[in-house]
């Protein structure tokens, strides 16, 4: 009688185990959790304190969605059998969750005004390098006061790559970053959740100063996940999250600019350091003029300072002038010893890029060549 007095009623035991009395009756019927004693006269069930761990485990297994047949193996099988059942259930749960997420995201895409978001992975140093390259093309403070969007960097998250774009109307810098093969699947799955027509990239504007500061933080992190939605942009490392508020506005259609460029008729490959030194030596002495002829490049300033750095020049002779303060940052943003200039005409934007890095492109507007006007 004392043993029975030490038992708990089904209600008391249910509260201790976190289960409903009806669930305990069900597990009794299934022979999964038998009561310690059943009153023959009343049918009341009573449970012992040492049954609580098993009851709690039953609850946890059922909360994880495990079928009773598998749960019974975990409860009464060997350690190896229990581990195999648990790992198999975890694998199936992940597959089910992925299928459900895909289905829900597809439904969200089809809803009018559905949620828009995107997420891609990049190397921290890679992101920092891209920001360093495009940031010099951001507009100066006076221009930003009139056109705030020109103080921003456009971030485009697409299926195959992430692009960073900046312009001050005289320069246009575009850097494309591809995800690595190990990250491509995750990036594609995430970006497919983006709303839009025809798979358009997710576009957000971020203040250039904010992005530059965040890039310094990302430089110390091996991998970064960029996540963008209506609440803003977030950079995720393994241990921290950094918020980047977005800016409202319409960024210039840089694709239209690039697509409408005439074909290049002249190409110049020259030493980046030599070209930069000529610009630095000229100081504020007016525009820098580049002249090609007889497979030779001649650099001249208004003060008649000239230089003839080694160069490879293709196409007919051309004479073109640049504002040194505009051309110099474009040279500094590149990488490698050589710089490539692709020229369609002396009055059209010139493509300035590293000879060995096609993922970074800068457009620089030439200026009027006053010396050529005087010679005419």
| CA 200 remoteness from chain centre | 15
What's the average model confidence in pLDDT over 108-123? Answer: 68
- The CATH number of 261-375 is 3.10.150.10
Average pLDDT over residues 321-350: 85
Mean pLDDT of 194-206: 61
180 pLDDT above the threshold of 70: no
Q: What is the reported pLDDT for 166?
A: 93
Asked whether residue 185 carries a pLDDT value surpassing 50, the answer given is no
Q: What is the pLDDT of residue 309?
A: 82
pLDDT digit string (tens) for 290-319?
889 877 888 887 766 678 888 888 889 999
**How many whole angstroms from its chain centre is CA 326?**
29
pLDDT of residue 193: 43
Average pLDDT, the chain: 82
Average pLDDT over residues 17-42: 89
CATH topology of domain 117-253: DNA Polymerase III; Chain A, domain 2 (3.10.150)
CATH of 2-76, one of 2.60.40.60, 1.10.10.10, 3.30.460.80, 1.10.1660.10: 1.10.1660.10
pTM strictly above 0.75: no
* Predicted confidence band of residue 108 (pLDDT cuts 50, 70, 90): low
Proportion of the chain above pLDDT 70, given as a percent:
84
Q: What is the pLDDT of residues 45-100, one digit of tens each?
A: 999 999 999 999 999 998 888 888 888 899 999 999 999 999 999 998 888 887 88
pLDDT > 90: percent of the chain: 23
The per-residue pLDDT for 189 is 43
Q: How confident is the model at residue 191 (pLDDT cuts 50, 70, 90)?
A: very low
The 10 Å CB-count burial string (b at 16+, else e) for 12-41 is: ebbeebebeeebbeebbeeebbebbeeeee
List the domain boundaries for the chain: 2-76, 117-253, 261-375
Assess whether pLDDT exceeds 60 at residue 376: no
Higher-confidence position of 330 and 186 = 330
Domains 117-253 and 261-375 share a fold: yes
């Amino acid at each position: 009688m004392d043993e029975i007095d030490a038992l708990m009623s089904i209600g008391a035991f249910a509260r201790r185990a976190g289960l409903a009395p009806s669930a305990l009756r069900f597990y009794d019927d299934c022979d999964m959790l038998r009561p310690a004693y059943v009153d023959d006269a009343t049918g009341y069930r009573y449970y012992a304190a040492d049954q609580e761990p098993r009851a709690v485990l039953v609850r946890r297994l059922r909360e994880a969605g495990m079928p009773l047949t598998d749960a019974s193996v975990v409860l009464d099988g060997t350690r190896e059998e229990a581990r195999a059942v648990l790992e198999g259930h975890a694998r199936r749960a992940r597959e089910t969750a992925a299928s459900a997420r895909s289905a829900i995201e597809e439904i969200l895409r089809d809803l009018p005004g559905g949620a828009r978001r995107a997420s891609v992975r990049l190397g921290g140093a890679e992101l920092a390098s891209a920001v360093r390259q495009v940031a010099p093309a951001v507009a100066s403070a006076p221009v930003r006061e009139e056109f705030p969007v020109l103080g921003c960097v456009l971030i485009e998250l697409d299926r195959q790559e992430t692009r960073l774009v900046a312009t001050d109307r005289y320069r246009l810098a575009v850097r494309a970053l591809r995800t690595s093969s190990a990250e491509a699947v995750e990036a594609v799955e995430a970006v497919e959740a983006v709303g839009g027509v025809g798979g358009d990239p997710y576009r957000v504007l971020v203040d250039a100063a904010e992005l530059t500061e965040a890039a310094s933080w990302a430089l110390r992190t091996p991998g970064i996940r960029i996540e963008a939605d209506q609440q803003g942009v977030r950079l995720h490392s393994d241990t921290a999250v950094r918020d980047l508020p977005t800016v409202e506005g319409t960024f210039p259609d840089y694709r239209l600019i690039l697509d409408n460029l005439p074909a290049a008729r002249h190409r110049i490959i020259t030493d980046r350091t030599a070209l930069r030194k000529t610009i630095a030596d000229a100081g504020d002495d007016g525009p820098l003029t580049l002249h090609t002829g007889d497979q030779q490049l001649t650099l001249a300033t208004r003060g008649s300072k000239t230089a003839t750095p080694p160069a490879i020049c293709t196409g007919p002779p051309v004479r073109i002038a640049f504002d040194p303060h505009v051309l110099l940052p474009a040279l500094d943003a590149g990488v490698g010893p050589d710089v490539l200039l692709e020229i369609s005409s002396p009055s059209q934007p010139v493509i300035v890029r590293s000879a060995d890095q096609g993922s970074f492109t800068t457009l620089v507007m030439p200026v009027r060549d006053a010396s050529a006007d005087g010679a005419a």
